[in-house]
Chains A and B, each alone.
Chain A
């Protein structure tokens, strides 16, 4: 697909984002159903639509809510009041939200639905995420805890140390990511953490998984996010001439041999017998999105990336092609990824300010990009934002990236 200019011509394959809504992130101690239903109602109000006008609902599942969490689409539909909509529930770990957007978009483009409501929400436990219960020695996620005690932060620690050894990144570089994101989160009413943070604060926080400290690592949170998507034709009939449009959704898997140790694996694929090294998985996620949208990193106005740790945000800069390999820290210190820079990253405040509400997070990324492209992001607004990308990676090999334009 070729684009003459952004903001003007519609491209076949576009779907409209009519509404975006969230339940604020926090540790509220209530059910994920409540967070999801609140976010859904907010998104419907934002779209100026009634729930009765929605033809299909897609829920991003949570593994922490019992059976209702595994059938999140139906759970949210029931909470909003059964009205006969088609229902879909999807799970892809951290990428669940993008899978939900992907499913909704496919239904719209196939002509199966005019208006689709996408909802994800989670109620997170205190402390580390842990695998589902029971003895399951054939489950890699159970094994990594049982055999190694390898929590999610230990993987983040391995990646951070690797960057320090290969690229010369420093603890000060990592801390500066937190400083940037905390300053932005302070401006976001939906963020859980709304205090500015200094590099000294980061350095004074306890080490969780060397070299990363508590303030380098994202928390686990409660929260909910929702989007109302529609066909371009419906958007016109609804009186929205220039909606934010989703132009690409990348849901690619890795290519063998995957040579970066990924959650929840104990070992990588063997590279010895394969033809040649392929591009890293994260870079392939972004490339697939760029190709589908007919765009590239030079066209971006904003990016929301999955900063599970401060070091991982730097990695995403490189994987999105915002800079070359090993140049992430320089891009950060140059101010390119801060407000006013060439390509502001995580203007929402990122996971650093939200903490992760797994099935809601990738949807929340699209909410932020939507508000930025509309020019409705308040104190966080990136002026003249026209093209935004979201990116994350769900464990067990789930790519997730969305490109939206206006």
Chain B
């Protein structure tokens, strides 16, 4: 039995419809940071409040997108024995936080399926697997698409 482990600890949580990216919110200026800031608020006009973990909006709109037609170098993990399968990268703007978050699209979604402004939602995904571990991540999925 392999263990599911997040590729980065503390960046996302939950399963299925309960899956969320996790950021931190400054209690003084309400800025939300992703990846999380746990030490200091980065707003230079803020006196600096406590930073509390918050789930990010589940849905957002595509700011832009691209794909990776060639195998990225290490530390991206791929199996050199297998032919390279391009994947799609999506930058998504979350309306309430006013933050753009990059992520891979769910497998099978290509750039031909996407448009700037399209609504997407965050879902759990698998980055890669090895003998002991399934390394999990987040993916963006168009809301019109069912898995």
**B77 / chain A contacts, CB cutoff of 8 Å:** 146
A5 to B112, CA, bound (A): 54
B64 touches A149 (CB 8 A): no
A65 to B68, CA, bound (A): 28
**A148 / chain B contacts, CB cutoff of 8 Å:** 76, 89, 102-104
Q: Interface readout for A245-273 with B: 1 if CB under 8 Å, 0 if not?
A: 00000000000110101000111111111
CB contacts under 8 Å to B, within A335-362, are: none
CB distance from B134 to the nearest CB of A (A): 15
**A-B pairs with beta carbons under 8 A, tally:** 145
Contact of B65 among A161, A208, A268 (CB under 8 A): A161
A184 to B73, CA, bound (A): 32
> CB-nearest residue of chain A relative to B11?
A147
CB distance from B136 to the nearest CB of A (A): 11
**A135 / chain B contacts, CB cutoff of 8 Å:** 75
> CB-nearest residue of chain B relative to A260?
B100
CB distance from B95 to the nearest CB of A (A): 9
| B147 in contact (CB, < 8 A) | no
B72 touches A128 (CB 8 A): yes
> CB-nearest residue of chain B relative to A165?
B116
B102 touches A273 (CB 8 A): no
**A145 / chain B contacts, CB cutoff of 8 Å:** 72-76
**B65 / chain A contacts, CB cutoff of 8 Å:** 158, 161, 210
B68 touches A149 (CB 8 A): yes
A165 to B117, CA, bound (A): 9
A343 to B77, CA, bound (A): 45
Contact of B66 among A157, A266, A270, A272 (CB under 8 A): A157
**A210 / chain B contacts, CB cutoff of 8 Å:** 65-67, 69, 111
Contact of A267 among B7, B35, B96 (CB under 8 A): B35
Say yes or no: A146-B76 contact (C-beta < 8 A), given A162-B116, A261-B91, A267-B34.
Answer: yes
CB contacts under 8 Å to A, within B11-44, are: 26, 29-35, 42-44
A265 to B35, CA, bound (A): 9
| A189 in contact (CB, < 8 A) | no
CB distance from B61 to the nearest CB of A (A): 11
CB contacts under 8 Å to A, within B86-106, are: 87, 89, 91, 96-104
A209 touches B100 (CB 8 A): no
CB distance from A149 to the nearest CB of B (A): 4
**A127 / chain B contacts, CB cutoff of 8 Å:** 70, 73
A161 touches B76 (CB 8 A): no
CB distance from B9 to the nearest CB of A (A): 9
Say yes or no: A273-B31 contact (C-beta < 8 A), given A128-B73, A137-B8, A161-B116.
Answer: yes
A62 to B32, CA, bound (A): 35
A211 to B97, CA, bound (A): 28
A374 to B127, CA, bound (A): 55
A149 to B68, CA, bound (A): 8
Q: In the complex, given contacts A130-B73, A267-B101, A270-B99, what are 8 additional A-B residue pairs having Cβ atoms less than 8 angstroms apart?
A: A140-B35, A148-B104, A160-B66, A162-B63, A259-B98, A261-B63, A266-B34, A272-B99
Q: Lowest 6 A-B CB distances belong to which pairs?
A: A157-B66, A165-B116, A149-B72, A271-B98, A272-B98, A149-B76
CB<8 Å pairs between A and B, sample of 17? A127-B70, A135-B75, A140-B35, A143-B35, A145-B75, A148-B102, A154-B67, A157-B66, A158-B102, A161-B66, A211-B111, A266-B101, A267-B99, A269-B31, A269-B99, A270-B97, A273-B43
